[in-house]
Amino acid sequence: MFRLDGRIALVTGAATGIGQAIALALASSGADIVITDRRLEALAETESQVLGYGRRVLGVAVDVREQEEIRRCVATVEESFGPIDILVNNAGINRPAPAHEVTPEEWDDHFNTNVRGGFFMAQLVATGMRRRKWGRVIFISSQSGLIGIPGQPVYCATKGAVIQLVRSLGLEWAKDGVTVNSIAPTFVETNLTRKRLSDPAFRSFVLRKIPKGELAMPEQIGAAAVYLASEEASMVNCETHRVDGGWTAW
């Protein structure tokens, strides 16, 4: 079960952290992988690890805030690598700031990266998926889209928007064999969170909120992505799959 042989997956923000773990999980399940991130050089480590699984890999520099870069990437991949079956919209930023400090520029950067980039990537990739009558679109949302967290209102709003997008896109594309889902992780220690989690008070707040008392591991997010990308998950649509150890059940 859950094999992805013969499939091509594109993962955004795949240089590091959760995106890298997802790319490796999909590769270990048999998919060929297109890895994208803002800088091509940053993808070298993920690229060599995907090759280690014996899969084909293509690295492409894409800033998901740039419509023209997204368009060029999808066209190049579909012409020279093959049709994209699985899209993982993982690229994201979080620069926590309390509401009274948020500037319009910070608001726009968060929404352009976390919401707009994923939407237009999905719009372009789904065109081919719908024609071919098979596709999986997976967004990495967050538990922050389901609950509030003080000190990061803009990030929470972007992830709530992603969860709503998933519902609507999944309804629009279901008849064409395309499912759209998201994965909502709790805290994972990555470049995004390392500084905050190194504060003992914040770390202990987080660990107290997670009933299991542990952070999530990037590989656990990768495993959820493999499931949602699989044939077996064809009836899972418009869903936000929590990998939060129970935080959001409180």
Ligand X SMILES: NC(=O)c1ccc[n+]([C@@H]2O[C@H](COP(=O)([O-])OP(=O)(O)OC[C@H]3O[C@@H](n4cnc5c(N)ncnc54)[C@H](O)[C@@H]3O)[C@@H](O)[C@H]2O)c1
Q: Could you list the active site residues?
A: 155
Give the shortest CB-233-to-ligand X separation in angstroms.
20
Q: Which of 17, 170 has the CB closer to ligand X?
A: 17
Longest C-alpha distance within the chain, in Å? 51
Structure tokens at 192: 């995004």
Give the shortest CB-173-to-ligand X separation in angstroms.
21
Residue 64, interface with ligand X (CB under 6 A)? yes
Residue 46, interface with ligand X (CB under 6 A)? no
Residue 245, interface with ligand X (CB under 6 A)? no
User: What is the distance between the alpha carbons of residues 13 and 18, in angstroms, rounded to a whole number?
Assistant: 8
Residue 142, interface with ligand X (CB under 6 A)? yes
Helices and strands, counts by H and E, the chain: 9, 7
SS3 29: coil
> Which residues are bridge partners to 11 per DSSP?
35, 88
Give the shortest CB-176-to-ligand X separation in angstroms.
26
> Stretches 1-9, 14-22, 49-57, 198-206: which one binds ligand X (CB under 6 A)?
14-22
Quick one: which of 40, 72, 128, 190 contacts ligand X (CB under 6 A)? 190
SS3 120: helix
Residue 90, interface with ligand X (CB under 6 A)? yes
101, 91, 156, 243: CA torsion to nearest 10: -140
